[in-house]
Each structure stands twice: as structure tokens, then as C-alpha cells.
Amino acid sequence: MPIIQQLTTQLGTEKVLLGEAISKRYHHIWYMHIPLKAKAVIVPTSTEDVATTLQICYEHGQEVVVHGGLTNLVGSTQSTENQIIISTEKLNTIQEVDVNSRTMTVQAGVILEQIQQSAKANDLQFPLNFGAKGSAQIGGIIATNAGGLRVLKYGMTRQQILGLEVVLADGTVLSNLKKIIKDNSGYDLKQLFIGSEGTLGVVTRAVLRLNEMPKSRCSAWVGIDGYKNVVAFLKYMDRGLGGTLSAYELVWQDTFQTMTGETSTTKPPLPLDYQYYVLTESLGSDQSRDAATFQSLLESALEKGLIKDGVVADNSTDLRWFWQIREDVRVLSAIADHDHHFDISLPIPLIGQYVEDARAELQKIPEVKEIFNFGHVADGNIHFIIGKKNDSAELTKRINDIVYEKIAAVNGSVSAEHGIGLDKKAYLHHSRSKAEIELMKTIKRTLDTKNILNPGRIIDL
């Protein structure tokens, strides 16, 4: 094939994988048993390699799918035999940690946990955190504008990016790796690519914003009855902690029971008879003082009837135990056959009733076996993991329609942090107006005139 010959000539045989080298790969870490389908896999080691690859693909009108850590949940890394994969796995260098600017410059293939560890080694913090931190690459994290466990305090990925380098569909390199926070010199072009799921350009490098490492960390699991008390306790803790509340994770009763049940490696820190369980966290500057304030607020909340019970993490072992319960959603996926994932956003006061109504409708479907709910309630993001008897398109659509059908009516979103990809494309209209979707298409056509970059993701042209 002329395009493969051209790529091999320009990049070298070691960077162009063919045949058996492709079939040994996979499109997602949950589907390692399914051989990857692709015409070729390109493994660049520099921005120049990515630019060369895209320039050649653009000339040939060759479709390209970008692979990072392969942890996405919306089908974005699926490919066909006629598409070429660009894998960022070898763009894996942390190029600089600037402790005075509090920034880190990284290539797209660096794994989140490595970024966290590098920041910590310099007494700094990269606050983005979620369960897939040991696999997810920063390029994919940026492309999906990932959220996670501390959005309440630090914001989404978008808020952590100061500079970005991106390669456009035709091989043009846009490089703006500034370390500054304030820059009002025209359009902030990097924002186009953050959350665009690789449809507008391929992220190759980024300048990340770091924070000073907190000196204290306090966490507690509490049991709550009544959703109105979930909201009241959130407001109470946020006000009482004076801006140090960093996480507020909500888990429904049956989900918590499974997360700490026989199939889990963790035991429950509280009795299992409360309607809701909240894992709350504060990050501050003085462990002794902050722990006393945290404890006092919990005791007061108990006296006021906002919570029914609570247990505080007394040491680092407890912290790991508490957070493992919340982060290890594989316990749920392992039970939920044909697991079906959702990550919707809703106005905080409406979450309790919305989930209750959706669960009631889902339970009427004989093929639905399990319904697990949890999420980052303080930022309005709630997850469903639904186990079902089969993976038929008809059943999938029926479930989707129930979860998504009232999103538009409450001004919510069908995707809080996972993105749209292939799987949610049919439901984008519940979150975006016709005019917004048409503008997305206009931007896509302008930056990718041949529609070669992650084609079919988010929108159809």
C-alpha cells in the first residue's frame, strides 16, 4: 500500500506496526481479549512524528483514530481494518517541573499517576484524580476534559491546562506552551481542543498547572437518610470548612453494600442500613487544627440530624481504605454483566428524585439485573452502572432512553466527564441545541476538512 510505504519511509519500520503486531493489541483495557483492528499502528516518539503521520494521512484522505491509555467509556478508541491508529504511548516524557512557576510540561502519553508522583516529589500537587489514574494518559485526559474526585475544589481538566501543543489534521503544529495563567491576547485556542475527543487535533504536549501540596487531609464516611440531608450536609460542610472541602462523594445504599461486600477486598466502615453514604474530604494546611475542625463539624452535624452516623479516617491506612472503597468501581463492573455505564450531570437539588424515578423505570425491565448509583454529587455528576442479561441494541436503547429522556427538561447533560464518543452521539441533542451542534460541525469541517481525525465521534458530518 502506498501510504504504508510512505509512512515507513518517513518514520522508520520500528514506528509503523503491521500484521501480527496489530492483532496483539486491543482497543480498550477491558477488552484485551479482542484483537485490535487497524490498517497500521503508528507509534510516534515526537511531535514531528505525529505531524509527519498526519500530513501523509491527510494527503491520502486516510482516517486516523488516536489511542492513549484506552480507558475511555464511550467507544472512542474503536477502529476498523481500514483506519490507522496513532498511539501516544511513547510520547511519555515529563519534560520539566518548574517549582517556581508551579507548572509541569509533559508529553501526551505520560500517565496521570506518574504526573501526581512527580508533582509530589517536588512538594507540589496535580489535583486531578480518578480510579483510572494508573492507566489514563494525559493526552486522552485533556481530549475528554476528564473530571474525577476533586472537581469541587479544583475544577475539571480544563482548569489545569495552561499551555497546549496540538497537531491538526493536515499536520500543522499549533504550539503554545506558555506557563502563564492570564492571557487575553485573542481567542484562547487551546480550549477548542480540550474536550474535543481528538476530533479537531492530536494533543502532543501540555503545560499543567500545579498547586502547593496540602499539609493536611481529613476524610470521613457518613451515613445519611433522605436526599435533602445530603444537600444540607454538603452546604454545612462547605461553609464550615472555609474553602477546604475538596471532595463530596455520594453512594447509594445498595451500591455501598456491594462495594464493601463479599466480592470486595474492603470491609464497610459503617453499618449498611443507611439510605445514602457520603465520603467527604478536606485539604488544608495544619493537620492537628484541621482535624479538630473537621471532627467538630461532624459531631455538630450529627446533633443537628443532618447525618445518622460517621467515622473519621484516623491515619494513612484508614485514608487508603476509605478511598479504595470509592475508587474501585471494578467491584461493581465485575458483578454487572454486560455493564452499561452512565455519567450524567444534573442540578444538585434534583439528583435524588431523578435517580429514584430512573431506577423505578429501569426495575420494570426484566433484563435489567443490577442498578448501581454513585457520583461526585457536589458538582452534579452522578454515575449509573447497570447490569443486564444481554447486550442487544434494543435493550441498550431502552435503558438509554430512560436515563436520558428527561435530561433536557432539567438542563442537565448526558455526559459529565466521559465524553460523547460513538456511544452517546445519538443523545447529544438532549444536552446541546440544534444551533450548537451545527456550530460544532462547522468547527470540525474548518479544522479537519477531510474528516480524517477520529471520524464519527461526537457528531456526524
pLDDT at 127: 96
Where in the chain is CATH 3.30.465.10?
Answer: 94-212
Its pTM stands at 0.94
Q: Are 59 and 172 in contact (CB under 8 A)?
A: no
Task: For 303, list phi and psi in degrees, rounded to 5.
Answer: -65, -35
User: What is the overall mean pLDDT for the chain?
Assistant: 96
Summarised one tens digit per residue, pLDDT across range 121-136 is 999 999 999 989 999 9
- Fold for the domain defined by 2-89: 3.30.43
Measure the N-to-C terminal CA separation of the chain; round to a whole number of Å: 27
The 10s digit of each residue's pLDDT in 307-327 is: 999 999 999 999 999 999 999
> CATH 3.30.70.2740 residue ranges in the chain?
330-446
Q: How far apart are CA 38 and CA 345, in angstroms?
A: 34
Instruction: With CA atoms as reference, report the closest residue to 67 among 89, 82, 51, 52.
Output: 89
Name residue 381's beta-bridge partners.
345, 376
Q: pLDDT digit string (tens) for 403-431?
A: 999 999 999 999 999 999 999 999 999 99
Distances (CA, A) of 408 to 345, 377, 431, 453: 11, 19, 6, 29
Confidence of residue 106 (pLDDT cuts 50, 70, 90): very high
Cβ(384)–Cβ(371) under 8 Å?
yes
Dist CA 7 CA 227 (whole Å)? 57
The most distant pair of C-alpha atoms in the chain lies apart, rounded to whole Å, by 74
CATH 3.30.70.2190 residue ranges for the chain: 216-327
- Which residue has cell 491506612? 317
Q: Three-state DSSP class for 266?
A: coil
Question: 179 falls in which pLDDT band (50, 70, 90)?
Answer: very high
What fold, for 330-446?
Alpha-Beta Plaits (3.30.70)
Residues of the chain with CATH 3.30.43.10: 2-89
CATH class of 94-212: alpha beta
The CATH fold assigned to 216-327 is: Alpha-Beta Plaits (3.30.70)
* Inter-axis angle of helices 287-303 and 227-240, nearest 10: 150
Mean pLDDT of 281-305: 97
Q: What is the mean pLDDT of residues 231-237?
A: 98
pLDDT band at 262 (very low <50, low <70, confident <90, very high): confident
Which three cell numbers mark 50? 505525529
Report the run of H or E that residue 371 belongs to, with start and end.
strand 368-376
Which among 31, 103, 19 has a CA at the least distance from the CA of 72?
A: 31
Strand order in the sheet with 16-17: 16-17, 40-42, 84-87, 64-67
Which residues on neighbouring strands pair with residue 288, listed in sequence order? none
Residue 115 has pLDDT above 90, yes or no: yes
